[in-house]
Amino acid sequence: MGAGGNVHGIMVPHVPPLIEYEMDHKPSQVVGELKYIGRKMKEWGVEAVVIADTHWQTRDKFFIDDSSFHRTVMSYHGFRGEIEYDVAGYPELAGVLLEAAERNLVFPGVEKHGADHAITIPLHFMFPKKDVPVVPLSIAGTPLCAFRWGRTMGETLRHWGGKVLFVASGSLSHDLDSFSRGLPPAKYKEFDRQVLKLLSEGNGMDVLSLNPDLIDAAKSEGNFRDLYMLLGVIGSQTRGHVRAYENLSGIGMGVVEFIDSGYDEGDGVLLRDYYYSDLFH
C-alpha cells in the first residue's frame, strides 16, 4: 500500500459488533485491515485525521469541530465493549479549512461535537495509542454540495503540506431494522457489491445512478454524502482499492482505500452544474 502526495483517503465502517469481534478474538477481515492500514499510515507519517462523520448529520450547513480535545460521546447502546477514545483535536488545521471554505463560499459553522462512534471505533483499531489528532466534520446538504466542500478541502490540504488521512466513516448498506430482526442479507449484498464495483472502477460518482429501489432498500448511511466529500478531496475518478468487506444482516462493512490522484477534468463539469443549480449555499 502506497500513499501518494500528502493526502490519503479511506472509507471505513464503524459498527459496534467490530468491538465485540475483537473482544471474542473472532477473525475479521475488516478489523485486520483497519489495523494494517493504521500501521502503514503511521509509517507514512500521518499528522492528522479529517473525518466525515455520518453520525453528525446537520441540515443545510456544514460544521467543523475545532476543539483542541475531543471527549468520547457514547452513541451506541446494547453492545458489549463500550470504548473510550478521548483524542486530541487540531484547531490550527480546522482554522485553515474554515478560512478556505469561506473563500470558496461554503461557509461552514463551528460547533463542539466530540468523538462519537463513527470516529472512536475505526480509530480504535487504526490508531490505538490515540496519538493522531482529529478534525471531525458534519455531513450536510446534497451529495453535490458535499463534493464541492470536499474539493475545497482537497486543494487546501495539498497546499497545507502536512500528511493528512481523510476518512469517510459509514456503512454501505445500513438497514438497522433488518439488522435488529436478523433478516437475510442477499439484497443488501447486491447493493454493496455494485457500490464497491463502481468505486474500484473509478466511477464512484455514479452511485446515485443505481437502481432507486435498491438504494431505498439499502438505506446507505449518510446518503452517499460522506463518499462524495471523500471523492471531492481525492479526485472524482480515483480508483478505490477494496481492502476488506464483510456483511451483517442489512449492514455492509467495506474498507476502501484511495490514493490521491488530484483533480479530474470532469470535476469542473460537476462544479459548473452546481453553480447553475439551486444548491448554492
Per-residue pLDDT tens for 23-37? 888 999 999 999 999
Q: Is the pLDDT of residue 277 over 80?
A: no
What is the share, in percent, of the chain residues with pLDDT greater than 90? 64
Q: What is the pTM of this model?
A: 0.89
Model pLDDT for residues 210-227, shown as the tens digit of each residue: 988 888 877 888 889 999
pLDDT band at 198 (very low <50, low <70, confident <90, very high): very high
pLDDT band of 97, cuts 50, 70, 90: very high
220 vs 84, higher pLDDT:
84
Helical packing angle, 143-160 and 265-275, nearest 10°? 130
Using pLDDT thresholds of 50, 70 and 90, give the confidence band for residue 14: very high
Q: Give the pLDDT score at 281.
A: 32
Question: Hey, what amino acid is at 191?
Answer: F
**pLDDT tens digits for range 121-167:** 999 999 999 999 999 999 999 999 999 999 999 999 999 989 999 99
**25 - beta bridge partners?**
none
CA distances to 28, 128, 197, 213 from 78, in Å: 21, 23, 33, 30
Domains and CATH numbers, the chain: 7-275 (3.40.830.10)
| DSSP assignment of 103-127 | HTT---EE----B-HHHHHHHHHH-
* Helix (H) or strand (E) segment spanning residue 99: helix 91-103
Asked whether the beta carbons of 229 and 152 are under 8 A apart, the reply is no
Q: Which helix (H) or strand (E) holds 265?
A: helix 265-275
DSSP 8-state secondary structure symbol assigned to residue 238: P
Using left for φ > 0, alpha for ψ between -120 and 50, and beta otherwise, residue 89 falls in: beta
| Non-local CB neighbours of 23 within 8 Å, separated by 6+ positions | 80, 81
Alpha carbon distance 141, 130 (integer Å): 31
* Nearest to 12, CA basis, from 206, 259, 202, 257: 257
Question: Within 13 Å of residue 54, how many CA atoms lie on the same side as its CB?
Answer: 28
* pLDDT at res. 267: 58
